[in-house]
Structure 1
Amino acid sequence: MTVIDAHHHLWDLGVRDQKWIDGPELAPLRRSFLLPELAAEAREAGVEATVLVQTVTVAEETPEFLALAADSAAGGGGLIGGVVGWTDLTSPGVAEELARLLSLPGGGFLRGIRHQVQGEPDPDWLTRPEVLRGLRAVAAAGLVYDLVVLPHQLPAATRAAAAVPGLTFVLDHLGKPPIASGEPEPWAGRVRELAALPNTVCKLSGMLTEADRRSWTVDDLRPYADTVIDAFGPRRLMFGSDWPVSTLAAGYGEVVAVTGELLTALTPAERDEVWAGTARRTYRLAPAGGR
């Protein structure tokens, strides 16, 4: 079985602070998480390739990630198959900035763009005219757009995806359903509306940290996983570890194992899509040894 981890992060607190890591509950994340540590965890879990995803809205981070992916490939390890970076979608020069990023060392690893929409106070931020213009530039650059949104922002995400049909929208973490409260609505209805659009894909990721981190069970997760499996189908669903944020609730290998339990009702071919096929198509990842 081939496994691609389509969603993880890395950060070095010696390079810059991660100001979002605040409060006692996130204290275990207040250290550097670097590629060698991830590589050891991922290889032990049988992961072939990964997608490194932006963490902060800082322009310097994306070029750093691209260079890291290129250096890793040059060293023969090549774990990072693609990067989802950040740029200011509202900038009039967004198309030129995307072209610049693609021309940088490692620019060929850029596969998508993401913005911390979950932190925007305007629930309709994604449908602002300047944002839609930026999303069209992302599509024109041949990239995808990762959605990190909260349930109340899903309707705007659906309208944005409908307005830019040439862009693939990738829903991170199932749209952050309220797993801890055990109340799937209105999240479930809203995520089904998004999934009804053909240019949308979903990551089976981030569930453990939306559940009760100390006492979650697989049964707590299953209704939410089943909802997106049914709504998107295996060919539009992909695995992501959300490491190291996931370490607040479980180790890397446990996240992989739990995901496997949630996929037991699928056929082997369908499981292969979730584990690798969807991520490979969406992020245009080369086969092992092909990078």
Structure 2
Amino acid sequence: MIIDSHQHFWKYDSVRDSWIDDTMKIIQRDFLPADLEPILKTNNVDGCIAIQADQSEQETVFLLDLAKNNKFIKGVVGWVNLSDTGVENRLEYFSQNTLFKGVRHILQAEKDDFMLDQTFLNGINKLAPLNLTYDLLIYAHQLQNCVTLVSKFPNQKFVLDHIAKPSIKFGEIETWKAAIKTLAALPNVYCKFSGLTTEADWHNWKTEDFIPYIDVIFEEFGAHRIMYGSDWPVCLLSGNYSKTKEIVTTYIKKLSSQEQQQVMGLNAINFYGITI
């Protein structure tokens, strides 16, 4: 079974979604399940995980409602204010819905030390008892603090989104590589094979541009902790769904059948606790 571990839905709002600037006009519109479902079918993908793109509980409710009404959406990673004193109650409330799998906060938009603030750490501490995951959305320069964060919670399941967004366009790799090695040494963190093309030259990337970075990810995390994700519709900035998926499937051809199945679906199923 193939599971896309990372995609988004939204009803475009120019104020709320101001991060989608005029260089991203192609995604300045609504993206809903009716848009994605035929794309998944064309690409032989059986289901997906919907990931939050807005920092609000309204976003979480919106995604859970979409998942309820579209069976191919296998789970939701929503947003809850982890720094709020009432976070435990909010997590318990959303956890009543079996489609609520985890939480993400857009750490890449915060000051680097935000993730180590005690109020935020208190929220992270409430996730594991409810069997909730945490998606790490950071830039490469935030990896050291990320290591510190993950180290504090050995029983918490973490997954690194978009391999921490190294600057593939400019070939920056050595500092990122060293930090990835340190992070991957922590057994409770996984990595999403996603978001690579948007960190490359959007209009002139070649598959070879990604190989040095992918090699590092597989060497450090291993196929048993890597999961395929499209980052649709953001991937449309630099190609299309099929081209994005092809980067993954082409690379993993050299792996065993079992390892390919792990990357393309089994790891996401196990990590997020998806019911098949």
TM-score (ref. length: structure 2):
0.97
Out of 16, 40, 43, the residue aligned to residue 42 of structure 1 is 40
Structure 1 CA distance for aligned equivalents of residues 170 and 236 of structure 2: 21
Q: Does 1:184 align with 2:173?
A: yes
**Matched position secondary structure for 2:50:** strand
Q: Does 1:114 align with 2:114?
A: no
Structure 2 CA distance for aligned equivalents of residues 79 and 15 of structure 1: 28
Instruction: State the match for 2:75 in structure 1.
Output: 82
Instruction: In structure 1, list runs of 5 or more residues that go unmatched.
Output: 73-77
The amino acid that maps onto 2:2 is V
Deviation at 1:156, TM superposition (A): 1.1
The amino acid that maps onto 2:219 is D
Deviation at 1:124, TM superposition (A): 2.0
The amino acid that maps onto 2:154 is P
Structure-to-structure mapping, 1:50-61, within 5 angstroms: 50-61=48-59
Structure 1 CA distance for aligned equivalents of residues 15 and 9 of structure 2: 12
Structure 1 CA distance for aligned equivalents of residues 92 and 266 of structure 2: 28
Q: Does 1:28 align with 2:26?
A: yes
Structure 2 CA distance for aligned equivalents of residues 112 and 86 of structure 1: 8
Deviation at 1:16, TM superposition (A): 7.8
Instruction: State the match for 2:207 in structure 1.
Output: 218
Instruction: State the match for 2:95 in structure 1.
Output: 102
Would you say how many aligned residue pairs link Structure 1 and Structure 2? 276
The amino acid that maps onto 1:220 is D
Contact 1:95 1:141 in 2 (8 A): no
Q: Does 1:142 align with 2:141?
A: no
Out of 61, 64, 67, the residue aligned to residue 63 of structure 1 is 61
Structure 2 CA distance for aligned equivalents of residues 153 and 183 of structure 1: 15
**Matched position secondary structure for 1:263:** helix
Instruction: State the match for 1:227 in structure 2.
Output: 216
Deviation at 1:13, TM superposition (A): 2.3
Instruction: State the match for 1:75 in structure 2.
Output: none
The amino acid that maps onto 1:115 is H
Structure 1 CA distance for aligned equivalents of residues 226 and 274 of structure 2: 15
Identity in percent: 34
Out of 163, 180, 184, the residue aligned to residue 195 of structure 1 is 184
**Matched position secondary structure for 1:108:** coil
Structure-to-structure mapping, 1:236-247, within 5 angstroms: 236-247=225-236
Which string of whole-angstrom CA distances, capped at 9 and with x for unpartnered residues, describes residues 219-266 of structure 1?
001111111111100010000000000011111111111211121221
Deviation at 1:17, TM superposition (A): 3.9
Contact 1:205 1:241 in 2 (8 A): yes
Which string of whole-angstrom CA distances, capped at 9 and with x for unpartnered residues, describes residues 69-101 of structure 1?
1122xxxxx110010000111101111011111
Instruction: State the match for 1:268 in structure 2.
Output: 257
**Matched position secondary structure for 1:247:** helix
Structure 1 CA distance for aligned equivalents of residues 3 and 140 of structure 2: 26
Which string of whole-angstrom CA distances, capped at 9 and with x for unpartnered residues, describes residues 147-167 of structure 1?
000011111111111101111
Deviation at 1:14, TM superposition (A): 6.6
Which string of whole-angstrom CA distances, capped at 9 and with x for unpartnered residues, describes residues 10-42 of structure 1?
1012798422111x3111110001111100101
Structure 2 CA distance for aligned equivalents of residues 38 and 130 of structure 1: 37
Structure 2 CA distance for aligned equivalents of residues 17 and 35 of structure 1: 20
**Matched position secondary structure for 2:67:** helix
**Matched position secondary structure for 2:135:** strand
The amino acid that maps onto 2:105 is H
Which string of whole-angstrom CA distances, capped at 9 and with x for unpartnered residues, describes residues 92-112 of structure 1?
111101111123xxx210111
Instruction: State the match for 1:6 in structure 2.
Output: 5
| 1:9–1:16 CA distance, 2 compared to 1 (3 A) | farther
TM-score (ref. length: structure 1):
0.92
Q: Please give the root-mean-square deviation of Cα atoms over the aligned residues, in Å.
A: 1.3
Deviation at 1:67, TM superposition (A): 1.4
